[in-house]
Chains A and B, each alone.
Chain A
Amino acid sequence: MGKSVLLIEDEPNIIEAISFILSRDGWTVATHSNGHDAVGVVESTLPDLIILDVMLPGKSGYEILREIRELHETQGIPVLMLTARGQVKDREMAERAGASRFMTKPFSNAEVLEAVRELVVR
């Protein structure tokens, strides 16, 4: 069984696209689509990697990431952040919040795969 990836994203089409790409590469993909209970899901599933969108309904990706980094069980999990706002200050905020990698939409499928593979050492 492949390593697990938790995708937290609210845009259905993007969820479908990323799930398809990662599943085909052998990853086990779980998805979650709102910000409210995202941290709880992370805590209970403890995935090998989290792909986290910034703009989520209920709670922003930065906040979720900060909370993940504060929790002992989850603070080591690599997080790949996705944002549709490609500005410099967004990248800085992501890094401050503890993101392992930051990607701006739209991205190429190959980029995502490569980033995921790098972040999770098999």
Chain B
Amino acid sequence: MGTLNILVAVCLIYVIFLFLVAFGAERAAMRGKGGWLRSPLVYTLSLSIYCTAWTFYGAVGYAARSGLEYLTIYIGPSLVMIGWWWVLRKLVRIGRAQRVTSIADLISSRYGKSNLLAVGVTVLAVIGTTPYIALQLQSVTVSFAVFSDAYEASVPLQSQESNALLVAAGLALFTIVFGTRNLDVNERHHGVVMAIAVEAIVKLFALLAVGAFVVWGIGGGVTEILHRIDTSKIGAWQIEGDRWAALVFLSAAAFLCLPRMFQVMVVENEDEGHLRTASWAFPAYLMVMSLFVVPIAVVGLDMMPEGSNPDFFVLTVPLATGNDGLAMLSFLGGFSSATSMVIVAALALSTMVSNHIVMPIWLSVTGGGASVSGDVRHVVLLSRRISIGAVVTLGYLYFRLSGGGSALASIGLISFAGVAQFLPVLLGGIFWRGATRTGAFAGLTVGFLIWAYALLLPSFGTGVLISQEVLNNGPFGIGWLRPQAFFGITGMDPLVHAILWSISLNTLCFYIASLVGFPSPLERLQGAQFVNVYEHSSNPQSWSGSLAQSEDLMVMAQRILGAREAQELFEREARRQGVSGLLPEPSPDFLQVLERELSGSVGAATAHAMIGQIVGGASVSVEDLMAVADETAQMMEYSSQLEAKSEELTRTARQLRQANEKLTQISEQKDSFLSQVSHELRTPMTSIRAFSEILRDSDLLSEAEKVKYSSIIHDEAIRLTRLLDDLLDLSVLENGQVNLNVQTGQLSEVLDHAIAAALTGGGPDRLEVNRRRAREHVWLSTDLDRLSQVFINLISNAQKYCDADQPSLSILVGRRDGALIIDFIDNGSGISKQDQAVIFEKFARVGEQRASGAGLGLAICREIMARLGGDIDYLPGQGGAAFRVSLPGALAVAAQ
């Protein structure tokens, strides 16, 4: 009893030690210090979870029963590691590129992200693994029992089963603590990996210690042992070719497909380069593990009493020779094998169960809206933990219900055969682009049905789940469907038979259904991505993708760039690449060009996501979507800016058009003005020329005629001069080049001067001017000469055009709104409304009367008044012609 207590204590200490190792590794990894955690050695050792308690204890039993056949279990993985490491490398590369979390994830992801497929794989993996977990629990329980048997033979096995519960609970706890500490995207668990690496050393060391003890302690040296082996029946090489081949294949397939192996090999892989080391180190580890199996079996068979269980020779031989310490070490080795397997299996299965079953259900129940919010984290963790508990509980229940014992002994190979059904779908998925989801479903279903029917059901024993009747005569008496003799082929080993049929029919169905079915675009893309993972993942910064179908890119590009533009782009690129045909190879260069083109239309993030969808197959993350949304917002803003710009342009265009119209108008006015000037100049010149010719050529002119004609020439010359003066004056005024000569003076004096200048020569028709001098005493400070010019013009106009019998002009001075106003009103018939509009225009001569003026007077007046800061207007409704001159008040100094 004392030893048993010590054993329990040692167990506890060992478990605490494992906790500390795992904890330390997690801490180191979190601080970023754990460089040693990422060594190829740790990776290699972690692979040793392949060697479970079944291998640790069972190999010796296997050898004791079946000779060297046990070696097949080591040969399979060794062959895979050495000969097929390029398959492993591809798996690892895909796992990293696709962020694969489990074998179910890998298969579902490859076949178009089908969750149904993932659920199927998960369920099958759980079915295949649960008996194996039960086996580990049993081995721990039995090894406890072996110890207790040696000391307290009376303790029944049943009471030891509570140990199994304790162990199961402890393992679940360990897995929960170190398997779900945090949610790492890569699903890496440094603590767990470190702990199983330590356990790998412990079990290797334990087995070697027992082996060394057996060889040198009991057997009497190497030579003696070799002699004993030769004489033993184990030493006889009875190789059954088909069974060996089947077992090697099986162990190799299981090595690739077991969820826990996938977990340590692919998911927990830190560095692809580690595979290189593991490819020789792991086979070496297996070789060392298997080194002492035969000696222990031989010595055990010789030494132990008849009927003792050879499965526990590793424990019982040291115990029988009184080496309790060694036995304890051996027990720890077996314990390590069992626990590491359960921990990793629980971790791997819980990830699958949680990700593919629990979370989808939870998300659909809660409406899925939470998938983006932060609270999903704790749900995921909780779901993981519950899944771990469920997986371990399932294993424990299986152990309890199956009753342990012989039913479990053969479960190892059966379990292997179950998970081996993943192999065709897995290999097909990473090497054959034509593989489809339908094919995967067909293959897996057929494979597992045959496995369950031909291997699993009969394994529970005849009459438990499958009757002797069915076994012998087939279901419903259909002979060729006998579980262990399909198509009437009898005499085959049941295991070989089941493997042969399940795997071959699995592969066949997978192949045919893949050929018949048509893959969805996503499947095609994922397929390309998996099969061509090396080209894709070599340079993560730039796109690569002979994987992408150029047609898919073309279809997308056409939608975004427009059909013709896209075709031109593709043709140009194809020419550049020197490819015949219209579609270029989707080289990284081309994809970059395409992405650039697309980003011009839809923005960089969107373009990247789109090409990523087609080429990379990378799923679009929330960040990507946010970036896309940002871009969309920017584009909308840009578009509204463009709209504003467009409006502005329209406005500018309108203004330009108006300006152009104005310029055209001005140009026409200028032409018209020049034409007018020409007319005004030519008319007096015509008279001058005609009369000067008359004077020159005619001798018969009277003296009166000569005088008259000379006067005409004289007058017309003056008219010409005045016209030129006016034109120059107007030009100066209009160009604003006029210099005002500001003086201060009395308005009355300016008027006096203007009247005197305008009314020269007092004939009988002289205009009478009426003024109110009292009002004219206003001091002005302005260009008095120019103001006077305006007055002269108005007065002489009245003189010229007033048609009254007794023409008179009233000059009225007043103030209005602070401005000084001077009105000139005559008593004639006035100017018609129609003419009022044009009198201030140049060359505007109204009415029938001919006058000597060129029609520039009022135009000049208006320009002058504008320069003086005042104004001149026609004043309608006054009877005769009336003009109002107004000056700003500031120019008028208050009357003194």
Contacts and interface: CB of A to CB of B under 8 A. Distances in A.
B691 interface: yes
A109 interface: yes
A109 B690 contact: yes
Contact of A106 (B675, B689, B697): B689
B687 interface: yes
A116 B409 CA distance: 144
Interface stretch (A9-17, A38-46, A60-68, A92-100): A9-17
A106 B679 contact: no
Interface in A1-35: 10-14, 16-18, 20-21, 24, 34
Contacts, number: 68
B697 A109 contact: yes
A84 B693 contact: no
Q: Which of B679, B685, B686 has the most CB atoms of chain A within a 10 A radius of its CB?
A: B686
Residue among A14, A55, A87 facing the most chain B CB atoms (10 A cut-off):
A14
B515 interface: no
B805 interface: no
Contacts of B682: 84-86, 104-106
Main secondary structure of the interface of B (DSSP, over half): helix
Residue from A85, A86, A87 with most neighbouring chain B CB atoms (10 Å)? A85
A88 B685 CA distance: 20
B694 A84 contact: no
Given A58-B848, A84-B679, A109 B693 contact: yes
A37 to B, nearest CB: 12
Contact of B679 (A24, A34, A55): A55
Contact of A105 (B685, B712, B850): B685
B688 interface: yes
B850 A106 contact: no
Contacts of B680: 84
B721 interface: no
B678 interface: yes
A84 B678 contact: yes
Contacts of A55: 679
A17 B705 CA distance: 12
B801 to A, nearest CB: 14
B693 A105 contact: no
Contacts of A76: none
Interface in A50-90: 55, 57-58, 84-87
Nearest to B708: A16
Nearest to A17: B690
Contacts of A58: 848
Nearest to B850: A10
A36 B239 CA distance: 139
Contact of B712 (A13, A86, A107): A13
B675 to A, nearest CB: 5
B683 interface: yes
B716 interface: yes
Contacts of A110: 693
B690 A34 contact: no
Nearest to A58: B848
A108 B684 CA distance: 14
B688 A106 contact: yes
B683 A84 contact: yes
Contacts of B697: 109
A20 B442 CA distance: 126
Contacts of A16: 712
A17 B708 CA distance: 11
A17 B679 contact: no
Contacts of A20: 694
B678 A107 contact: no
A57 B848 contact: yes
Contact of B690 (A57, A84, A104, A106): A106
A34 to B, nearest CB: 6
A13 B683 CA distance: 9
A21 B690 contact: yes
Contacts of B848: 34, 57-58
Nearest to B719: A13
Interface in B649-686: 675, 678-686
B340 to A, nearest CB: 110
A97 B694 CA distance: 32
A61 B781 CA distance: 49
Contact of B686 (A21, A57, A105): A105
Contacts of A109: 690, 693-694, 697
A49 to B, nearest CB: 18
A50 to B, nearest CB: 18
A13 B685 contact: no
B683 A105 contact: yes
Nearest to B688: A106
Q: Which of B678, B688, B716 has the most CB of A within 10 A?
A: B678
Contacts of B681: 84
Contacts of B698: 24
Contacts of A11: 683, 686-687, 850
Contacts of A105: 682-683, 685-686
Contacts of A14: 683, 686-687, 690
A85 B679 CA distance: 5
Contacts of A85: 675, 678-679, 682
B560 to A, nearest CB: 59
Contacts of A24: 698
Contact of A84 (B686, B691, B712): B686
B691 A13 contact: yes
Contacts of A18: 690
Nearest to A15: B687
Nearest to B847: A57
A107 B694 contact: no
A119 B371 CA distance: 106
Nearest to A36: B848
A14 B694 CA distance: 12
Nearest to B671: A87
A58 B849 CA distance: 11
B460 to A, nearest CB: 118
A109 B576 CA distance: 85
B686 A106 contact: yes
A24 B694 CA distance: 11
A34 B715 CA distance: 23
B284 to A, nearest CB: 111
B675 A87 contact: yes
Nearest to A82: B686
A108 B689 contact: yes
A9 B716 CA distance: 17
A13 B679 contact: no
Q: Which of A10, A87, A106 has the most CB of B within 10 A?
A: A106
A2 to B, nearest CB: 18
Interface in B864-895: none
A12 B712 CA distance: 10
Contacts of B679: 55, 84-85
B76 to A, nearest CB: 109
A87 B807 CA distance: 41
Contact of A108 (B678, B687, B693): B693
A45 B681 CA distance: 32
A20 B687 CA distance: 12
Contacts of A10: 850
Contacts of B678: 84-87
Contact of A12 (B689, B691, B694, B850): B850
In order of increasing CB-CB distance, the 8 nearest A-B pairs are: A17-B690, A13-B687, A84-B682, A106-B686, A105-B686, A84-B679, A106-B689, A105-B682
26 contacts: A11-B850, A13-B684, A13-B712, A13-B716, A14-B686, A16-B712, A17-B687, A17-B690, A17-B691, A18-B690, A21-B694, A55-B679, A57-B848, A84-B686, A85-B675, A85-B678, A85-B682, A86-B678, A87-B675, A87-B678, A105-B683, A106-B689, A106-B690, A107-B690, A108-B689, A108-B693
Interface of B: 675, 678-691, 693-694, 697-698, 712, 715-716, 848, 850
Given A12-B850, A84-B681, A84-B686, 9 more contacts: A17-B694, A24-B698, A84-B680, A85-B678, A85-B682, A87-B675, A106-B686, A106-B689, A110-B693
